[in-house]
Structure 1
Amino acid sequence: MKKLYLITDYKGFFGSKYFDVPYRSGMDRELLASFFKSKGYEVVFLKPLMEELERQNLREGVIVFASHQDPGLFYKNYLEDLAVSLELAGYRVCPSSYLIRAHENKVFFGMISYFMGVPSLNSIKSSWYGAHEDFTAMAEGLKYPVIIKSAEGSMSRKVFLATGTKEAKLKTRNLMRTPDFFLKVRDMIRQIRHKGYTRESWRRKKILVQEYVPGLKNDYKVLVYGKKYYVIHRGINKDDFRASGQGLLSYRKDIPPAILDFAEECFAIFKAPQVSLDIGYDGESCFLFEAQYVCFGTYTIEKSPFYFIRGNGHWTCVEGNSCLEEEYARSIVEYIEQ
């Protein structure tokens, strides 16, 4: 039987699940293992410890990561280090380590989207900055209004609309803060002691700046698990510009085919078993706001009463609820064997 090594977190949990039991415990490990077994794969759950990893012959299987979403992203960064190291050494990592790096890292995804030059990934003009001094130098040249996003965060947290240069500078000033009182005092002393010394920046949290798409009354959250597409319609409050976190959710069968076509196009760009896409549509064009390939919210698939699948050149809506663990296992196996 072929082997899969699923990397858990320090608690022994794997992946994310909206309706998990107990709370914040991830996917059901037994259920997940049973679905993989039915497809001819033996699952070994491993904590990311050298002492556990060195007892396994990791080269005989595929190493599957689900990332982690902890405050400060300290453990997520640790898992990312492991994924990059394994892939660099020639081990089979699923998904690719650069997609694990893109989790909770909107700036990195913005960079790879830009440099790949694929139109669907650049449907919205974006720029990124690593210091407030750099942003203020470029702020006058931006076309307002703009959306300003912290590199990390979900449910529209740390996302702001700026209508002009002054407002943008003020909001990024707070968003990019990296305070450290003792280092700041030390830096002031350096300035006194050393003539011509340029002080350090104390606003170095990276940000992504996106053009604002006016007139949208909703967007679409699209989860893709292999060949199956799960879509939820997210409304926007009258006095807001964000759809995420508003709670105005509905499942609709009359999804414009352009949304599904665009999601399919975005999904095909990177080699991955699943993806979560935030897509806007103004009746003519689609816009990709965000994408996550690991550890994304699963409410959409867990509550969806149907899914979409392409067949014979058109999209078909298939009735029925889905099991997260079953669809996760299926999409992983399809990805490995394709």
Structure 2
Amino acid sequence: MNIKNLINGIPWEEDASIRVLWLKAEGISRTQLASDINNYGEHVILPVILRSALFISSNALMADLAKLISQHEEAFLALKEVQFTRLTIVIISNDSLSLPQASSPVCLPQWFPILGGREVTVRISDVFDTAELEPLNGESARIEQFAKSLFEIESALVARLEAIAEVDDRAVRSLIDILNKDEAAASVSTALATYKLHLSEVQVPRAYRPGAKSKKSLLSKLIYQVTKSSPDTAAAFSKKMAAALDYPQSIQIKPPLFAVMLRPSVTLTVAEANCHFGILAFYQAYQLMNAAAHAGEYPSYPASLVLANAKDLARFLSDFFKVICDSGSVLESGKVPEMS
């Protein structure tokens, strides 16, 4: 992610010429980060590295800011050689900003390169809470990661259904009938062969994008169940899905927040709940991928929100995949499909 572009994309408050942003280094060298975002021009971005115990108490917030400015007097004085109209001070810290982001007055020293000696009202805002990305298609959205995860999960699901069908295809029959409800009847083996052929034709997993109306993709058919269902109806389908997959009851996966918002009123077992979370996560990823593909039709959102949502969904998809791959016996036969 280009932090400098992120900062430049943050809208200015009306009539403001100075603003203060907080940037957590996230394990990156603060010195390197400062070098990357430093910018001289009509809009100056001046990074200052926080090396002392400041910004701990909200009562001393502006006093700490004044002290930090004094600690970096030489860097600010150098700006007197630059013609500029706006100044962004970026405080680079190893920690997150935990204090309230309220506006407060601060008296600038006489030597300050802009508005010196005057009292100005500023607030310290977190870069990632304030900045807005390009609509849902920036690096933080992790679209390619979702595509690869969905491809791997679909491959694992098809392999597991195939292994179960080899033991008893009646266990899979009910699920296949639901998925093919609006199509001509097909045997279990024919349906699974169609799903496998579809996956074999995918050349680049990180570019995989299931469609809710595809008749050849298992994942697309699972997503379609969500598009036409209420939370309770989707939960009822999840019971069939859990039974067909012989889904393990021993591991409960933490759901993505999106799935919590669509929690059904019916009671589900651990396996059924995991499958319900799963199809909702597939649907969430599908919608995010669609939004990224048509980015101009959607507004921008705070970078922290986009990133947190992506991390939450990516974590669930990874957990769901591991459970499918590492689960126990298939219909108590001891035969577990090998999946990469």
- TM-score, reference length from structure 1: 0.26
Look at both structures and tell me which one has the larger radius of gyration over its CA atoms. Answer: 2
**Structure that is richer in helix per residue:** 2
- TM-score, reference length from structure 2: 0.26
| Structure with higher RCO (Cα < 8 A, 6+ apart) | 2
**Structure that is richer in strand per residue:** 1
